[in-house]
Amino acid sequence: MHDTLQRIGRALELVEARLFDERLAPSDLARAAAFSPWHFHRVFQAFTGQTPVGYVRKRRFAEICRRLCMSEVPIAALALDCGFGSQATFTRAFTREIGVSPGRYRSAGQIAPAHDFGPLDVEEILARAGRQSMEPRIAHRPAFDVVGMAERFTPATSSRIPELWGRFVARLDDVRQRRGVATYGVCVDADPASVDEAGFTYVAGVEVERVESIPGGMTALTVPAGRYAVFTHAGHISRLKDTVKQIWGRWLPALPYRLVRRPDFELYDERWNPQTGRGEIELWVPIAEE
């Protein structure tokens, strides 16, 4: 099993081991997978189709539904076994999530198909996807400097990234010592020791010969040298998110590369037409050196 699959598998095992532990947080799953919270969130969601929080909730209530239908344990005792402080608290939570009370659900005598949600198996998911792969180009990139505008995003706010690009492009001429025509969307992961939420910093910028001066409202960063798996998105930019999802959720887990913590970035060069929103965009994903 590849490295990424092993990491996701460890997180899934932790969910089952602590299924009814209310203290279980997405950051705990990220640590089990040896990923930062943001990196874990995007890999997990792309691969499973579920957010980490959503997956844990669905597994908890699926197991509760199974216990209601497959056992005769009194509801009060079942509530305590499943981590609830009282039967009343359990009934409110169950009714809010499932739509009927625990008593009525038990009376029906069978688990509804929508609630038959067992533990995910990483190899099974990959097999179901047909092991489709997109063979990337492997390249080594020297360190380079970027100047641009930066903003912190979460999964819920990442739809605002085009607004950041709009502000940056309006001030593109303010950047001194620009190298080439390409623009870069650099994703900088947070230090996992400093945050518990899934978030990242995105920089819309350009490469510069050297950092001479930084315009007001902008920032500079150095992207370290390293090895990358380079994927190409072709078509309209509105479908870029689908390509990103395929890369992190299907193609990378199926390829024999170990991901490392360096910035990943989008490269927009002369193949990309900002007027039409069409063309080829390269996505550079950092992997371990051989």
Q: What's the CATH code of the domain at 66?
A: 1.10.10.60
Counting the structural domains of the chain, the total is 2
* Of residues 269, 253, 199, the one with CA closest to residue 9: 253
pLDDT of residue 49: 79
Q: Is residue 242 located within the same domain as residue 264?
A: yes
Q: Is residue 149 located within the same domain as residue 199?
A: yes
Measured N-to-C along each axis, helices 37-48 and 52-70 cross at an angle, to the nearest 10 degrees, of: 60
pLDDT of residue 125: 64
Does residue 35 carry a pLDDT above 60?
Answer: yes
129 compared with 278, residue with greater pLDDT: 278
Does residue 126 carry a pLDDT above 70?
Answer: no
- Domain with 180 in it: what CATH number? 3.20.80.10
Q: Is residue 168 located within the same domain as residue 97?
A: no
276 compared with 170, residue with greater pLDDT: 170
51-57-62-68 Cα dihedral, nearest 10 degrees: 180
Average pLDDT, stretch 265-274? 93
Q: Is residue 108 located within the same domain as residue 198?
A: no
pLDDT of residue 247: 87
Q: Is residue 33 located within the same domain as residue 163?
A: no
Does residue 129 carry a pLDDT above 90?
Answer: no
Average pLDDT, stretch 24-47? 90
Q: Is residue 39 located within the same domain as residue 124?
A: yes
What is the pLDDT confidence band of residue 130, given thresholds at 50, 70 and 90?
A: very low
Does residue 65 carry a pLDDT above 50?
Answer: yes
Name the DSSP letter for residue 170: T
Most confident residue range from 77-86, 194-203, 275-284: 77-86
* Of residues 184, 158, 148, 140, the one with CA closest to residue 281: 184
Lowest-confidence pick of 18-22, 42-46, 57-61, 216-220: 42-46
pLDDT of residue 259: 86
What is the pLDDT confidence band of residue 188, given thresholds at 50, 70 and 90?
A: very high
Q: Is residue 147 located within the same domain as residue 277?
A: yes
Cα–Cα separations (whole angstroms), residue 186 to 25, 148, 164? 27, 10, 12
Backbone angles phi, psi at 133, to 5 degrees: -135, 150
What is the pLDDT confidence band of residue 128, given thresholds at 50, 70 and 90?
A: low
Q: Is residue 22 located within the same domain as residue 109?
A: yes
Q: Is residue 147 located within the same domain as residue 275?
A: yes
As a whole number of angstroms, the distance between CA 85 and CA 93 comes to: 11
Query: What percent of the chain shows pLDDT beyond 70?
Result: 93
> Residue with structure tokens 């819309």?
204
Name the DSSP letter for residue 203: E
Does residue 138 carry a pLDDT above 50?
Answer: yes
Q: Is residue 184 located within the same domain as residue 112?
A: no
Name the residue range of residue 166's domain: 137-287
Q: Is residue 163 located within the same domain as residue 265?
A: yes
Q: Is residue 165 located within the same domain as residue 250?
A: yes
* Of residues 226, 75, 52, the one with CA closest to residue 139: 226
Which one of 128, 154, 179 terminates a domain? 128
Which one of 73, 96, 128 terminates a domain? 128
252-256-261-265 Cα dihedral, nearest 10 degrees: -40
Average pLDDT, stretch 150-156? 91
For the chain, give me the number of helices (H) and strands (E)?
A: 11, 9
As a whole number of angstroms, the distance between CA 205 and CA 143 comes to: 15
Cα–Cα separations (whole angstroms), residue 85 to 22, 63, 79, 101? 11, 18, 7, 17
What is the pLDDT confidence band of residue 1, given thresholds at 50, 70 and 90?
A: very low
What is the pLDDT confidence band of residue 72, given thresholds at 50, 70 and 90?
A: very high
Which one of 106, 128, 150 terminates a domain? 128
110 compared with 223, residue with greater pLDDT: 223
